[in-house]
């Protein structure tokens, strides 16, 4: 990589603006209410089953939906598509070493590819994996490898109204009690996520990461980071944690990662690419095993599931993602939407998260029982109103207990308005806010849903519903 983005100087007293201008546009189409009602019923009231052509503003996810820069696109033309030892792999390795600080890199097609390998590598049947709230694919791979997941996030994370600045933190007393109960031998690693997606995009403080590291070290347990949105987490540390206000996001990220033994990564989020991920490790023996396993499930250890051009785009995306102006505008846009909704009295998770605004569907629809899928119903009403596509993060996403097969009943029943990076304008946020406010105004008439098809794994992706 010859050139890299200009290092940034934080300038926090002025309003932010995007540190880029638009060069290519993709037209989008507004549908009619009748078209949307039809599309929604065809999709079984599941926004994952809508066709993208029927969506106006797509806030389903920030995963793989970011816009790449001209520098990344230029890198795509420099793809070295050799089967083995592509030069782009070495660029990627260099970028991860430089910005995340880990030594050994196993590329994978996306985050869950890395989660699969990590779980296979470290988990034995009967183990327990503690984590600061579950994530859907992460927990599933832990369970498929024979472990059960134990939530050790601070209690405030389950309360949408708590204003604590670091609601992603691990409850250290709960973690210590868990270690005493099941024994360190049965804890293959602590699964630390930053930021915590299911809690509403809430960050972990540096002090907490350091304390988790210290506690884990005393017991000889590894800490594995879900680094999917660790750059956004680093930005919140810069904004909220004493002693970090004058440090760059890049410096904070590297310190944060230094308290962990490795990470799984979905490059489709922070790293500004449409596909890609990695498993990073510092232990060379573990790396040898991981680089052997990856050839079984993903591809050779110098490409995983990616082409050379994908690896180049991700290497460049990593360098861009840690620039202070980039991350300030990225999180700033999420905050802009969140504040607009708060001003209109719409109930949502506070503080506003790093990648998304999470509507509190329980507060929207107090008349609906959780088994009537209030968040799923809300996402459907929002799409019907304006063509804005969001997603459910509540009882559908939480799935069933792997042993009893009963529904998990998460205390958070949320709809996520997820903002892709560098894609939409402030006007798109205004249109979205208007629609949410209108749907909130019609809340008393809202009806719940009945699940009519339930897939076995990660049901939220493909489940189908009917309106009650």
Kindly list the residues in this chain that would bind ligand PLP in the complex (CB under 6 A). Answer: 63, 110-112, 135, 137-138, 193, 197, 226, 228, 266, 268-269, 277
- Catalytic residue, chosen from 56, 358, 460, 465, is 460
Nearer residue to ligand PLP within complex by CB, 19 or 353 = 353
Nearer residue to ligand PLP within complex by CB, 293 or 346 = 293
- Catalytic residue, chosen from 112, 229, 316, 393, is 393
Does 260 qualify as catalytic in the annotation? Answer: no
Q: Which two tokens stand for residue 199?
A: 């809690």
Shortest Å distance, C-beta 314 to ligand PLP: 12
Query: Can you tell me the distance from the alpha carbon of 280 to that of 354, in angstroms, rounded to the nearest whole number?
Result: 23
Nearer residue to ligand PLP within complex by CB, 69 or 228 = 228
Shortest Å distance, C-beta 427 to ligand PLP: 27
Does 247 qualify as catalytic in the annotation? Answer: no
Give the neighbor-by-neighbor strand order of the sheet with 414-418. 356-360, 414-418, 391-393
Query: Can you tell me the distance from the alpha carbon of 443 to that of 258, in angstroms, rounded to the nearest whole number?
Result: 46
Nearer residue to ligand PLP within complex by CB, 279 or 361 = 279
Shortest Å distance, C-beta 276 to ligand PLP: 8
Does 89 qualify as catalytic in the annotation? Answer: no
Shortest Å distance, C-beta 115 to ligand PLP: 7
In terms of Cα–Cα distance, which of 277, 446, 453, 274 is closest to 377? 446
Does 48 qualify as catalytic in the annotation? Answer: no
In terms of Cα–Cα distance, which of 166, 281, 274, 272 is closest to 229? 272
- Catalytic residue, chosen from 29, 37, 70, 83, is 83
Q: Which residue is nearest to ligand PLP (CB)?
A: 111
- Catalytic residue, chosen from 269, 328, 340, 362, is 269
Does 83 qualify as catalytic in the annotation? Answer: yes
Sign of the dihedral defined by the CA atoms of residues 383, 386, 388, 390, in that order? negative
| Cβ contact 426:9 at 8 Å | no
- Catalytic residue, chosen from 226, 261, 270, 324, is 226
For the chain, the residue count is 468
Q: Which two tokens stand for residue 221?
A: 């347990």
Nearer residue to ligand PLP within complex by CB, 55 or 265 = 265
Strands 262-266 and 277-281: antiparallel
Shortest Å distance, C-beta 47 to ligand PLP: 16
Q: Which two tokens stand for residue 234?
A: 């680093």
Query: Can you tell me the distance from the alpha carbon of 48 to that of 390, in angstroms, rounded to the nearest whole number?
Result: 9
Give the catalytic positions in this structure: 83, 135-136, 226, 269, 393, 460
């Amino acid at each position: 990589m010859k050139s890299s983005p200009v290092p940034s100087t934080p300038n926090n007293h002025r309003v932010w603006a995007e540190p880029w201008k638009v060069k290519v546009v993709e037209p989008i189409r507004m549908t009619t209410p009748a078209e949307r009602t039809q599309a929604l019923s065809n999709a079984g009231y599941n926004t994952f089953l809508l066709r993208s052509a029927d969506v106006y503003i797509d806030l389903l996810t920030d995963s793989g939906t970011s816009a790449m820069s001209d520098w990344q696109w230029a890198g795509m033309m420099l793809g070295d598509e050799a089967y083995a030892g592509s030069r782009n792999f070495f660029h990627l390795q260099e970028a991860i070493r430089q910005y995340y600080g880990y030594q050994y890199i196993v590329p994978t097609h996306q985050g869950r590819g890395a989660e699969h390998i990590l779980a296979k590598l470290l988990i034995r049947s009967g183990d327990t994996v503690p984590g600061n709230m579950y994530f859907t694919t992460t927990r599933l791979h832990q369970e498929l490898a024979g472990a059960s997941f134990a939530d050790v996030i601070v209690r405030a994370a389950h309360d949408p109204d708590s204003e604590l600045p670091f609601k992603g933190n691990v409850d250290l007393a709960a973690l210590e009690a868990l270690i005493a109960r099941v024994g360190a031998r049965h804890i293959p690693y602590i699964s630390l996520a930053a930021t915590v997606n299911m809690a509403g995009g809430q960050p972990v403080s540096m002090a907490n990461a350091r304390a988790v590291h210290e506690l884990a070290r005393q017991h000889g347990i590894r800490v594995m980071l879900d680094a999917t949105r660790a750059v956004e987490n680093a930005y919140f540390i810069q904004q909220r944690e004493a002693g970090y206000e004058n440090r760059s996001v890049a410096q904070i990220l590297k310190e944060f990662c230094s308290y962990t033994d490795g990470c799984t990564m979905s490059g489709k989020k922070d790293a500004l690419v449409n596909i890609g991920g990695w498993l990073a490790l510092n232990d060379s023996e573990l790396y040898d095993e991981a680089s052997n396993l990856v050839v079984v499930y993903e591809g050779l250890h110098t490409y995983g599931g990616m082409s050379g051009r994908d690896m180049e785009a991700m290497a460049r995306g990593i360098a861009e993602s840690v620039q202070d102006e980039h991350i300030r505008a990225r999180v700033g846009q999420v905050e802009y939407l969140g504040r607009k909704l708060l001003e209109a009295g719409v109930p949502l998770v506070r503080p506003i998260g790093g990648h998304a605004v999470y509507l509190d569907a329980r507060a929207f629809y107090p008349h609906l029982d959780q088994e009537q899928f209030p968040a799923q119903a809300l996402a459907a009403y929002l799409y019907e109103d304006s063509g804005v596509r969001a997603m459910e993060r509540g009882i559908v996403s939480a799935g069933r207990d792997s042993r009893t097969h009963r529904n998990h009943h998460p205390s958070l029943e949320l709809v996520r308005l997820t903002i892709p990076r560098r894609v939409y304008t402030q006007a798109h946020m205004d249109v979205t806010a208007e629609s949410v406010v209108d749907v909130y105004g019609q809340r008393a008439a809202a009806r719940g849903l009945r699940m009519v098809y339930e897939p076995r794994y990660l049901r939220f992706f493909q489940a189908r519903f009917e309106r009650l």
